[in-house]
């Protein structure tokens, strides 16, 4: 069997965790926790266990409290019942030799009264982010949220800490703070969505304050090497008014500089999905990940649109330490083996991304090895 040497398939020491390879499964919301308590199910445990040959799995985004809910049938990690459900997921992954971090998120202004018992969503400011919420009746336009009080921000930070503790109790190997466009944290970072005049608004330092408060809070539960954060600095079109602007580059320089002192497991960075020419972040277009490499001393997990080939290239070049794959894991539970044996990848069915019960969730088979793939 041909197994061309690939850095992607090398073992990797992530602090005290030994990853079997440098292939990370990125978080994928699949909306299969279709029960009133938003409790992870046995089918979810099977789904994750099927993908345990990844060096590390990042769970789907999970809610840190009821106000953070902004999508139907997505599990939470704020009740004891949910913790019990997650225990079966982490056990199934560990039994199959894998590692799994919990991704902790809050959708802020992306929520909808239909998901909040008729209450308005909470956000940094009362500004409609002009996006969409996935409600029980399908996608609906976002509404103008209610501005969080400072006390509510402090409480939310504590909810992240509690969720981090719950993740530990549930047997996760670490946590990733979900801060990609669409979520509460980037709404704080955004000059358009955050119009506060207190210590959480205005300057770059103030707008990013919540990140460090969350990281300081979860550090009371997890050692820093088991904590990660995921950003999408250049997401252009998918999340209404939360877009890169003139302050994005200095903002991320400031954040990364400060993160240098946190010794995190990694910073997970989503790349550009569109041409950045003519945008305020145009200068990031060329050698995108090198910009982050030059501004951050810790580990970088690179994401977006990677193939086996491009992932091996970025690892060889040294502009990332690990590479994550999202969509390819949907139809290829054995993605690592397919990379290893140079097997073709299966296409996923978008109709079953967020619905369809078992179908399109645990039904994708492993590849059948054929002599012709040698
Ligand atoms: C169905 C689906 C659900 C996703 N859910 C999440 C999520 O819960 N949290 C998150 O950080 N990213 C989520 N993403 C983004 C992926 O983690 C990843 O960043 C993106 O798919 C790009 O990687 P890829 O090109 O390898 O697919 C999701 C993507 C897809 C396709």
pLDDT digits (tens, 9 = 90+) for 273-322: 999 999 999 999 999 999 999 999 999 999 999 999 999 999 999 999 99
pLDDT greater than 70 at residue 371 = no
157 in any annotated domain: yes
- Mean predicted confidence (pLDDT) in 68-80: 97
Q: Are 139 and 133 in contact (CB under 8 A)?
A: yes
352 in any annotated domain: no
- Mean predicted confidence (pLDDT) in 156-172: 99
353 in any annotated domain: no
> How many structural domains does the chain have?
1
88 in any annotated domain: yes
What pLDDT is attached to residue 368?
A: 80
337 in any annotated domain: yes
369 in any annotated domain: no
Cα(339) to ligand 1 centroid in Å equals 20
What pLDDT is attached to residue 1?
A: 40
Cα(247) to ligand 1 centroid in Å equals 25
351 in any annotated domain: no
What pLDDT is attached to residue 86?
A: 99
Cα(26) to ligand 1 centroid in Å equals 6
DSSP states of 297-335: -S-EEEESS--HHHHHHHHHHTS-SEEEESTHHHH-TTH
Cα(178) to ligand 1 centroid in Å equals 11
For ligand 1, what atom is nearest to the CA of residue 305? 25
pLDDT greater than 70 at residue 165 = yes
Give the Cα separation of 323 and 79 in Å (integer). 32
Cα(353) to ligand 1 centroid in Å equals 11
CATH code of residue 122: 3.20.20.70
Q: Are 227 and 211 in contact (CB under 8 A)?
A: no
319 in any annotated domain: yes
What pLDDT is attached to residue 62?
A: 98
Q: Is the dihedral of CA 225, 108, 31, 130 positive or negative?
A: negative
- Mean predicted confidence (pLDDT) in 44-62: 98
pLDDT greater than 90 at residue 67 = yes
pLDDT greater than 90 at residue 3 = no
DSSP states of 76-127: BSSSHHHHHHHHHHHHHHHHTT--EEEEEE--GGG--GGGTTTPPPEESSS-
Closest CA to 260 of 295, 211, 214, 215: 295
Buried b / exposed e along 201-219 (16+ C-beta atoms within 10 A): beebebbbbbbbbbbebbb
Give the Cα separation of 109 and 125 in Å (integer). 9
- Mean predicted confidence (pLDDT) in 39-44: 98
Q: Are 101 and 57 in contact (CB under 8 A)?
A: yes
The three-point CA angle 263-164-101 to 5° equals 70
| pLDDT tens digits for range 119-151 | 999 999 999 999 999 999 999 999 999 999 999
Domain residues for the domain of 185 are: 7-346+358-364
- Mean predicted confidence (pLDDT) in 344-355: 98
Give the Cα separation of 79 and 169 in Å (integer). 12
| pLDDT tens digits for range 4-35 | 589 999 999 999 999 999 999 999 999 999 99
DSSP states of 174-215: EEEEEESTTSHHHHHH-TTT----STTSSSHHHHTHHHHHHH
- Mean predicted confidence (pLDDT) in 160-165: 98
Question: Over the chain, what is the mean pLDDT?
Answer: 96
List the residue whose alpha carbon is closest to atom 28 of ligand 1: 28
What pLDDT is attached to residue 373?
A: 54
Tokens of 53: 């040959």
| pLDDT tens digits for range 238-287 | 789 999 999 999 999 999 999 999 999 999 999 999 999 999 999 999 99
Residue keyed to tokens 């970025």: 314
pLDDT greater than 80 at residue 219 = yes
Could you tell me the pLDDT band of residue 237, with boundaries at 50, 70 and 90? confident
Residue whose CB lies within 8 A of the most ligand 1 atoms, among 27, 61, 76, 233, for a mutation test: 27
Question: Which residues, in sequence order, are CB contacts of 217 under 8 Å at separation 6+?
Answer: 157, 158, 160, 161, 164
Closest CA to 285 of 341, 239, 337, 233: 233
Residue keyed to tokens 């809050």: 106
The three-point CA angle 40-330-164 to 5° equals 40
């Amino acid at each position: 069997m041909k197994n061309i040497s690939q850095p992607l398939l090398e073992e990797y020491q992530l602090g005290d965790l030994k990853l079997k390879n440098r292939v990370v499964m990125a978080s994928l919301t699949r909306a299969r926790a279709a029960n009133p308590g938003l409790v992870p199910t046995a089918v979810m445990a099977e789904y994750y266990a099927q993908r345990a040959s990844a060096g590390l799995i990042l769970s789907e985004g999970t809610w840190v409290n009821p106000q953070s809910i902004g999508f139907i049938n997505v599990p939470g990690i704020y009740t004891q019942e949910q913790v019990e459900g997650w225990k079966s997921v982490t056990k199934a992954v560990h039994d199959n030799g894998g590692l799994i971090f919990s991704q902790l998120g809050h959708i802020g202004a992306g929520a909808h009264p239909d998901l909040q018992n008729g209450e308005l969503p909470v956000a940094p400011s009362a500004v409609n982010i002009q996006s969409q919420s996935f409600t029980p009746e399908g996608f609906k336009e976002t509404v103008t949220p209610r501005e969080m009080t400072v006390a509510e921000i402090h409480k939310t930070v504590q909810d992240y800490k509690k969720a981090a503790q719950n993740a530990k109790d549930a047997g996760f190997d670490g946590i990733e703070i979900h801060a990609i466009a669409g979520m509460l944290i980037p709404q704080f970072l955004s000059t358009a969505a955050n119009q506060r005049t207190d210590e959480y608004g205005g300057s770059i330092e103030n707008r990013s304050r919540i990140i460090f408060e969350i990281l300081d809070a979860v550090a009371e539960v997890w050692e820093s090497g088991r904590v990660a954060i995921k950003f999408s600095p250049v997401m252009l079109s998918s999340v209404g008014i939360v877009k890169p602007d003139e302050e994005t580059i200095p903002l991320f320089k400031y954040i990364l500089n400060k993160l240098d002192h946190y010794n995190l497991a990694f910073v997970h960075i989503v790349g550009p999905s569109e041409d950045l020419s003519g945008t305020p972040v145009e200068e990031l277009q060329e050698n995108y990940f090198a910009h982050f490499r030059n501004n951050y001393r810790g580990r970088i997990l690179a994401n977006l649109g990677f193939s086996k080939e491009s992932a091996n290239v970025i690892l060889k070049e040294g502009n990332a330490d690990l590479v994550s794959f999202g969509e390819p894991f949907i139809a290829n539970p054995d993605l690592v083996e397919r990379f290893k044996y140079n097997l073709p990848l299966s296409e996923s069915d978008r109709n079953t991304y967020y619905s369809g019960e078992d179908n399109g969730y645990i039904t994708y088979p492993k590849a059948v090895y054929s002599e012709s793939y040698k």
